[in-house]
Chains A and B, each alone.
Chain A
């Protein structure tokens, strides 16, 4: 198969930018509004599904399995390292909260929401978002190309 017509391909490429920006917005504001790493990663993975549907067989050059696998491993390693960095007190210690540096403002009561708060939580949101996007895209690509092989010989 060659993919769908030219109008569908151009529309999918145009919808790429608002989709990724919306998903990144949900990931970044995870500590202020409902959302976070898992939900934002799933939103960006739907864009990947849209691209696979539009470009059926030409997707092999755009989304390679090696790059997605490397991104997923780097994101999971970053998540574990952020957890180990607070090892001075306990595992998963929030060592950047209430200290005034990056992501360190104090917060109390009902307020309109300040992006500079939260300690190590926004960094963990970004790592988990990248990992969920890579994992879901990899599952989709592997299942799509796995359904096209020939029949195995009957080995008895």
Chain B
């Protein structure tokens, strides 16, 4: 069992997983949409913005945006620490 056979086995297993995941979703063009119908109908009254994607990002799901800003800040802190040099 050399390394080449292990690599082909890993590739085949991952390819089977991703194909199974893509095949078992809904057909392209008919998504289930109860929550998004509520967002499209009531987004303008409750948040006052014309852009529904922005109102979801900053009003209905603001905690996700806070987490993303924190991840970006942490990555910049990591890069800063790696290249600071000695003094």
Do any beta carbons of A and B sit within 8 angstroms of each other in the complex? yes
Binding site for B on A (CB under 8 A): 30-34, 36, 65, 69, 72, 76, 79-80, 83, 91-92, 94, 97-98, 103-109, 111, 113, 117-121, 124-125, 128, 131-132, 135, 138-139, 142-143, 145-146, 149
Min CB–CB distance A155 → chain B (angstroms):
12
How extensive is the interface on chain B, given as a class? Answer: 20 to 34
B57 to A36, Cβ gap below 8 A? yes
Q: Which listed segment binds A: B9-17, B19-27, B32-40, B46-54?
A: B46-54
**Which chain A residue lies CB-closest to B80?**
A142
CB distance from A150 to the nearest CB of B (A): 11
B62 to chain A, nearest CB (A): 4
Residue in B46, B63, B69, B75 whose Cβ sees the most chain A Cβ within 10 Å? B69
Would A143 and B83 be within 8 Å (CB), given that A72-B76, A108-B45 are in contact? yes
With A83-B66, A138-B76 in contact, do A118 and B83 touch (Cβ < 8 Å)? no
Inter-chain contact B51/A72, CB cutoff 8 Å: no
Q: By the criterion CB–CB under 8 Å, are B83 and A145 in contact?
A: yes
Chain A residues closer than 8 Å to B54, beta-carbon distance = 30-31, 36, 121, 125
